[in-house]
Amino acid sequence: MDLERFEGFDAASIDRLPSEAEMMRAADSMIADLETLRVAPLADPYIGPAILEGKAAGVFFHEIFGHRVEGHRQKNEDEGQTFARKVGQPIMPDFISVYDDPTLTQLNGVDLSGAYRFDDEGVAASRAVLVDRGVLKGFLLSRSPTRGFNHSNGHGRRQEGRATVSRQGNLVVQPATSVTLPQLRERLRTEARRQGKSYGLLFKDISGGFTNTNRGGPQAFKVLPILVYRVFTDGRPDQLVRGADLVGTPLASLTKILAAADDFQTFNGMCGAESGFVPVSATSPSLLVEQIEVERKDKGNNKPPVLPAPSLGHGAPVTGGAR
């Protein structure tokens, strides 16, 4: 099984990057995580409660919600149009609000990759209120109108050489009520016991994800976790597992958010879609979800080499595969 650990450092200027010592500590932490992952048990297929920590929750919302409120998808008949006719209707719990604001350059002291002053159609960036207290309010809009919305809110974006469409910038999940992270963990245990589970899952870090919004395929999403833990109801220490992918469908997943913590984390990255790759960010607190589905990921069948790599010298012992 290919094992991955990734740590990114995003800053608007050189002086805001972490020090070399901080980066070295991050590298040491990644090495330790990989050594632990090598001997961690395989995750089992699972459906039940889970906590998505901040970055994982941000990517979760980016994939299952953000792409589905891009304006051009609401009028394309090849699209699933998940939320096209749901403006003014509740689509998630009433303590959750969501907006996308490219005018934000920082949030909680973190530089945001999705910031810009004007979009790629020359329209000034502005905050787009997408969900207010669980009720869908609008979409991410370019100059191309969609049903009930005739003006751009500055979200027309593209990679050089591509046609412009509406895209995400800085997506932010804002709960009206929250608890501490330890309290959220205790609520996870309580919910797992209620569902007859011996453990819930904690998604601590992710590498990214993808979604399909087209009618021609399953309109589902997949988030690719890196660090996943079993949180046992009897209080045993958390157990790291490997080989888990988080999957599901948007309408079911969004309605099952039970609670949010008071921590916020930001995922900075690149998002690919019809108009190419653009920088984005997604910020969210940790979220407790009533029901998450996990499937096993492809593990591969590569064997360690029979002979050592030439760079190791003659007679060097073979202790494992090197890539």
What tens digit of pLDDT does each residue of 167-224 get?
999 999 999 999 999 999 999 999 999 999 999 999 998 776 667 676 666 667 777 8
Tell whether the model's pLDDT for residue 80 goes beyond 80: no
Share of the chain above pLDDT 70, in %: 93
Residue 315 pLDDT level (bands cut at 50, 70, 90):
low
Helix (H, G, I), strand (E, B) or coil at 232: strand
What local confidence, expressed as pLDDT, does residue 214 receive? 67
Residue 286 CB partners (closer than 8 Å, separation 6+): 51, 52, 53, 54, 57, 181, 184, 260, 261, 263, 265
Residue 181 CB partners (closer than 8 Å, separation 6+): 261, 262, 263, 286
What local confidence, expressed as pLDDT, does residue 201 receive? 96
Residue 318 pLDDT level (bands cut at 50, 70, 90):
very low
pTM: 0.87
Domain ranges of the chain: 19-296
What distance in Å separates the CA atoms of residue 100 and residue 141, rounded to the nearest whole number? 11
Residue 320 pLDDT level (bands cut at 50, 70, 90):
very low
